[in-house]
Structure 1
Amino acid sequence: MKQSRRNFLKFAGLSAAGLCLTPAASALASGVKNTPVKVKGHALHAERWAMVIDTRKLNTKEAIDKLADACHHVHNVPHIDSKQDIKWLWEGGYTEVFPNQENNFPSEELEKRSFPLLCNHCENPPCVRVCPTKATFQRPDGIVAMDYHRCIGCRYCMAACPFGARSFNFMDPRPHLDMDNLNMEFPTRMRGVVEKCNFCVEKLTDGKLPECVEKSEGTIVFGDLKDPDSPVRKALRDNFTIRRKPALGTEPGVYYII
């Protein structure tokens, strides 16, 4: 009897959790390895998604903030006027972005540049290894995604990420959203949940490029790192690029043209 009751409660709990999943959240979680992925016929596919940012053209706080506003609007990222602000895309200076570069006397122009910062979607992501609930996982196409329903707010992933790419909702983010302009196709989060850039995985499913890429006016390119004919491989062949903290061995998927 006890065993039957335990099984019934377990089944009821799983059923309730399944009913709580929104279609958008289910789409975000659908990329777990070894799980069949149902996508639309015109979805964009890659063996390894990557991004190349041309900092010769995209290098002002105003331009980066404009892209951040677009990104945050699409993903219902709240603006909280405090140190607890949530960020998916933001700007930083040269010494913050590239603290390990050997040349400690760069040009004045380079030192004055602003650089866009986001999740690097590393090939060897430490955040995935430390997550106890698999709320953070790596998709087969290299994107480091999140299932917000699995996040328990332990913040191990924040401690493991060497790029500061994750934010924690210390308070309920929903009162800080513009409810009149809410994107109803993307889930909002709740207090106690970590979030970050997801390379616009939901837009890739719809056959579209990430929001920041579409709004960048050609200063950001996106494509399959494993495809020699992709835009990112062409950009890497034609330009000198660097990545953030390469010595750590995480193999970031975001490259910067200097």
Structure 2
Amino acid sequence: MNHTRRNFLKFAGLTAAGLCVASVGGVMAAGPGSTIKDGEKALKAKRWGMVIDSKRLGTKEAIEPLVKACHAVHNVPDIPGKQNVKWIWAAGFEESFDQPNNYMDEGLEKRQFALLCNHCTEAPCVRVCPTKATYKRPDGIVAMDYHRCIGCRYCMAGCPFGARSFNFMEPRLHLDAAKLNKEFPTRMRGVVEKCNFCVERLALGKMPACVEASQGAIVFGDLSDPASEVRKVLREHYTIRRKPALGTEPGVYYII
């Protein structure tokens, strides 16, 4: 009884905190035609993209600061067990790229890779969503409207990268109210969520949280601009993308 009461009070407190930022939450999660407004210093691009240096971010220990930064900014719950929600995580080569090689270099075989939503040009998750809760912005970011999500999980079945998480449990019970980011909405049970390339930070002129936490190991910018830093990095380094044969055209590249 006491345990149930504590959970109820914790949920009530987090719900109240969520309601305090309801207007912000609606803006951040809004779909096409939303009222979201860019600030004076907003960062803009025709096609946002990311390059991750896997040589510098090649261990779980190196990737963990990115995970913590991302999850703290976006109120991602830490739910024990297989039902944990993730926006960015670490995985081995074969899980990341689905390219088995019996004679792979040992260093590459043991390397970990930072995985997240690929914000595909031809995003299958967008096509299969029946309520348009998942949609693609003009700048190439695949975003979500949490209020439209009905929890059908079609997007999870359609995504070939495992980049989406479903809230089987009440996520607000697994958040620390003292550490809650009141500038970003919390979610509810039955809703899918994923990386959003930090659209709320871009609107304020800030780079994505993982980019800032990477200390230069992740480059983010406009793929359509030949003079951008991200295009410069792509010219100077050999990179690969996840499952390119599927034709989804991922917006995330990895320096190997």
Same structural fold, with TM-score higher than 0.5 when normalized by the shorter chain: yes
1:29 Cα offset (Å): 4.3
Whole-angstrom CA distance in 1 between matches of 2:162 and 2:62: 21
Deviations 1:216-238 (A, max 9, x none): 01000000000011111001000
8 A Cα contact 2:27 2:34, kept in partner: no
Query: Which residue is 1:41 aligned to?
Result: 40
1:39 Cα offset (Å): 1.6
Query: Which residue is 1:75 aligned to?
Result: 74
8 A Cα contact 2:124 2:155, kept in partner: yes
Query: Which residue is 2:25 aligned to?
Result: 25
Query: Which residue is 1:233 aligned to?
Result: 231
Deviations 1:106-127 (A, max 9, x none): 2000001010000000000000
1:1-258 map, 5 Å: 22-30=22-30, 32=32, 38-100=37-99, 104-258=102-256
Whole-angstrom CA distance in 2 between matches of 1:229 and 1:176: 43
Identity %: 68
Query: Which residue is 2:7 aligned to?
Result: none
- Aligned to 1:222, the other structure's residue is in SS state strand
Whole-angstrom CA distance in 2 between matches of 1:24 and 1:255: 31
1:96 Cα offset (Å): 0.6
Query: Which AA in structure 2 matches 1:22?
Result: A
- Aligned to 1:72, the other structure's residue is in SS state helix
Whole-angstrom CA distance in 2 between matches of 1:36 and 1:190: 22
8 A Cα contact 2:28 2:185, kept in partner: no
Unaligned runs of 5+ in 1: 1-18
Q: CA RMSD in A?
A: 1.8
Query: Which AA in structure 1 matches 2:154?
Result: Y
Unaligned runs of 5+ in 2: 1-18
8 A Cα contact 1:31 1:37, kept in partner: no
Query: Which AA in structure 2 matches 1:186?
Result: F
User: After the TM superposition, which segments of 4 or more aligned residues of structure 1 sit over 6 Å from their partners?
Assistant: none
Query: Which AA in structure 1 matches 2:97?
Result: F
Whole-angstrom CA distance in 1 between matches of 2:107 and 2:217: 18
1:54 Cα offset (Å): 0.5
Deviations 1:82-130 (A, max 9, x none): 11000000000011111136x5522000001010000000000000000
8 A Cα contact 2:39 2:203, kept in partner: yes
1:51 Cα offset (Å): 0.2
TM-score by length of 1: 0.88
